[in-house]
Structure 1
Amino acid sequence: HNERRGARRAMWHPPKSLKDRHDEEVFEPAFNILHFVDREGTVKRRNEASRASIGHATKQTLPLTDYVHPGEINKVKAELIRLFDRGEIRGIGTRFVAEDRTAFPVEMRGTRLDDRTAIIEARNRSKEAELERQLMETEARYRRLIEEAVDTLDSGIILTDRKREVIWANATIGRFFGIDRDRLIGVDEKRALSRYVGAFEDAQSLAKVIEEAVDKGDRIDSITCRVRPTLGRDERVLEYRSIPIETERYKGGRIDHYIDITEL
């Protein structure tokens, strides 16, 4: 009797197909958004992560315009063409929009399944983006603190990056050479040098030594140089030092110091 009941139950509840088991165990609970899409980017099937992040919970099918940020649609369309052409895309940064029209950053990768269908996985980068924003804010705060501290130093300081552009010149540089220090920032270091080297008595030979050290990445430990007085600047004796930066982040850049030794 029990066997007959079990057989009858089995008739009403056929064993789950491989596809059903895959959906339950892999597709639905996946942490990232998973979309089966056609060539136009219309979502044909979507998982729980998609419904949670994008909304439209009752919709199984979503047109591209319902989930991609308006400013990113052309980019995503181009990536879809590439996906169906090459069979794969990876590391594509874009923005999706939720049902309430809030945007969030994602990183997509996709695999073509056949001529008409591809699967796209999109990783929600909202938390990462927020951390990056906070980090940039913190860095900017520290940078301002450092710049303000450097501005109060008695010695003139010029910082250049690995691209050989001046990224910072402190207020003392402006005072020593009678120039607007903002005219140096963002300028190639040789051009920046040409804007103030004329203040020195032996300008040409000093410029040659500095440019040679820059080209070779050499250190200059100490050069004494004299600033000629004009209407906008005082006569001074400066000690010049130039040190290549070795720390990983700014490697290839330099710190130039001009120390006032007039009174010594």
Structure 2
Amino acid sequence: MRHATPTRSAGRHRRTTRRHLRSEPHPTAHLLARGLAALIVLGIFVMVGILVVADEQRPSPGRTLASAEIDARIASRTVDPAALSTAEVFPAGSADFATTAREVTADCAVAATGALRTTLARYGCTQAVRAALTVGYADYRITAGMLNLPDTASATAVNDQVRALVETGDGGFADMSGAATAAGTPVLWRTRGHYVMYCVITGPAGALVPAGDPRVQRVTTELLDTHLHDRVLVRRAGAASRGSRDRA
């Protein structure tokens, strides 16, 4: 009797595939994260704005004034009422020039000759600060000065009158002795705000200095532009600017 061999049925093996599910953030958390990021960016912008405004308003002695700001600070005696002094305009111990005499006077006529005396009185000049100077690179006798007029318009009018008077020989600026200078003497001047700056250059005994001498240009640049303008007037405008912020 044959025994039937039991048939082994083929079993099916089921593969179970696991899905790795990525959990999505909750909508509320997502909104909160975006809001926080927006607040951080806004805070940065606000902080930068505060720092910029604070820097502009901080009275910094080293801050360079713009040209228009300088003009505004010395536009008239109303906004720039402090009187000039010899110590301010021609301080002792300058590296650019030596001072042999200096004075400040309310009589502006002593700084002028001819019709310019009348012009200065007409336009309200109240101060003349003058000095006799020498420089190390030329044997010149130099008289320089600064005149205090009421406002920019007055200083500009004097400037125009000086030009015409010097060209015709009917007036000009005097040397420290008050004497009129010879025709052809280098007479240079500038205006800024309510001030007129000038210098008269002669030889050691009052001799005529050729206008084409390059040292004349050097004196003009160093004395009128660098010293009287940059060191005296720009510094004065800066002091006025700091004073106005302090009062505010």
TM-score exceeds 0.5: no
Q: Which has the higher strand share?
A: 1
Higher relative contact order (CA 8 A, sep 6+): 2
Structure 2 length normalisation: TM-score? 0.32
